[in-house]
Amino acid sequence: MVEVSSTENCGRKPGVRFHHTKALDSLDLRCKRGLPVTSPARTLIDLAAVMNERALERSVDKAILRRLIRERELVDALDRTPRRPGVGRLRRLLGDSLVHGAGRSDVERSFRRLVRAAELPTPDFNVRLGPYELDALWRDYRLAVEIDTYRFHGGRAPFESDRIRDANLSDLKPLRFTDRRLARHPEAVVATVARELAHRGWKGP
């Protein structure tokens, strides 16, 4: 299905879905190989009106992870088109990425998006387990993931603390990734997590 945004009423055509709009802001337009196209942000807004919740969530996650768009750009586009169908759904989705158990830092939020985009089982985030708080925990698979940043984990004392923490959580065998690895090699991170989940019984999406 080809998705077309137009300021004119184009009727119906086989294999084409039209998104009628009264106007298109110049900020929402791009040119790809000589063809006028909508920006990634505007495209997501138009698709939000016709996609189911899960497909829309994955599309937003993949666009951000592939650096096609930044969250701020999507918010700006939503502000420019407050009455478009699907705007409310996108605002709720972005809100869900910031609260209600989502990762509380940009790094943890990026990991959350990566998990969703790869269609891995959804873990619990920021889980309290005894004296420790885990970044992500798949309870059914006894797997935990910790995302380390140099700011909070650099130096001898945090290094020693992490080793003690991992020893006390040995039955979970926490996987550790640095924020740099998550940013630069997201495919490798998700492959490692998927492999470990499969080893523990996950059958795949």
pLDDT in tens, 70-127: 888 888 888 888 888 888 888 887 765 443 334 346 777 788 888 988 899 999 988 8
pTM of the model: 0.54
Rounded-to-integer distance, Cα 8 and Cα 81, Å: 17
CATH number given to 106-199: 3.40.960.10
- Reduce the secondary structure of 86-131 to three states and give it as a string: CHHHHHHHHHHCCCCCCCCCHHHHHHHHHHHHCCCCCCEEEEEECC
Three-class SS state of 4: strand
The one-digit pLDDT tens for each residue of the chain (205 residues) are 677 777 776 667 777 777 777 777 888 888 888 888 889 999 899 889 888 888 888 888 888 877 888 888 888 888 888 888 888 888 887 765 443 334 346 777 788 888 988 899 999 988 887 777 788 999 899 899 988 774 444 444 444 445 445 544 556 677 888 888 888 888 899 999 999 999 999 998 7
Domain ranges within the chain, ordered by starting residue: 2-96, 106-199
Evaluated on CA atoms 48, 80, 61, 125, the torsion sign reads negative
